Amino acid sequence: MDGVSPHHTYHVESSALVNASLERHRKKKKEDENDPKHAEVDSPPRLSCEDFTVEFGKEQIETLIETWGVRSCWRHSLDFLYVTELEHCGVFHYRARFSAPTARQPISQTASVFFGVEVSKFAPRATPLEVHFVVESNRLVNTSGKHRFRETWLTDVIDSKKRFSFLF
């Protein structure tokens, strides 16, 4: 598999998560090959992350979203999309749809945030899960704990959709 999702109905943002995972793995593998102390031969056998479930992934993402500090006017729903099996990990794809309904506009536009939870097939169970996210219509792959989520990303997506809808 070349990193592109076989699920053509899902957004490009979701496949960007897989491509980012593949690129990180290729980079790490190249570093390990050049550094004898990290060679695979010297590595102890590792256990797979057998305890991971789709529901556990949803809980992890909900916990992450709570840390973002978005205003209480925002509502969201979180859905599991699919899993992509790669050589070194499985990437579980989720989508959170955010909206800010008001009395004047109870059914408002939505902004999606796509998540990829990497579950290593080789890392010890205690290894923290890698959670990456991409905001709809953006290509930057963010990593939880390394990038700070900005509420303005959601409003920017919704504003651009509103501007675009007025053209037609």
Taking residues 1-17, what's their average pLDDT?
54
Predicted local confidence at residue 33, as pLDDT: 46
**Between residues 28 and 54, which one has the greater pLDDT?**
54
Indicate whether 97 belongs to any domain. yes
**pLDDT for the residue 73:** 92
User: Looking at residue 27, what is its pLDDT?
Assistant: 63
Other CB atoms within 10 A of residue 12 CB: 14
> Residue 18's pLDDT is what?
66
Mean pLDDT across the chain: 77
Average pLDDT value for residue range 35-39: 43
Task: For residue 5, tell me if it sits in a domain.
Answer: no
Report the domain count for the chain.
1
Average pLDDT estimate for 25-49: 43
Evaluate whether 96 touches 121 at the Cβ level (below 8 Å): no
* pLDDT exceeds 80 at position 167: no
pLDDT score, position 32:
47
Predicted confidence band of residue 49 (pLDDT cuts 50, 70, 90)? low
pLDDT, residue 3, reads 46
Output the pLDDT for position 104.
85
User: Is residue 99's pLDDT more than 90?
Assistant: yes
Contacts of 142 (CB under 8 A, 6+ apart): 132, 133, 134, 135, 149
Flag whether 4 is in a domain: no
Mean per-residue pLDDT, 32-61: 58
Mean local confidence (pLDDT), 139-162? 89
> 7 in a domain, yes or no?
no
Report pLDDT for 109: 87
Q: In this structure, what DSSP letter does residue 106 have?
A: S
- 145: domain range? 12-166
Phi-psi region of 87 (alpha: psi -120 to 50; beta: other; left: phi over 0): alpha
Closest CA to 68 of 116, 133, 17: 133
What percentage of residues in the chain have a pLDDT greater than 70?
A: 69
Q: Is residue 55 situated within a structural domain?
A: yes
Q: Is residue 2 part of a domain?
A: no
**pTM, 2 dp:** 0.74
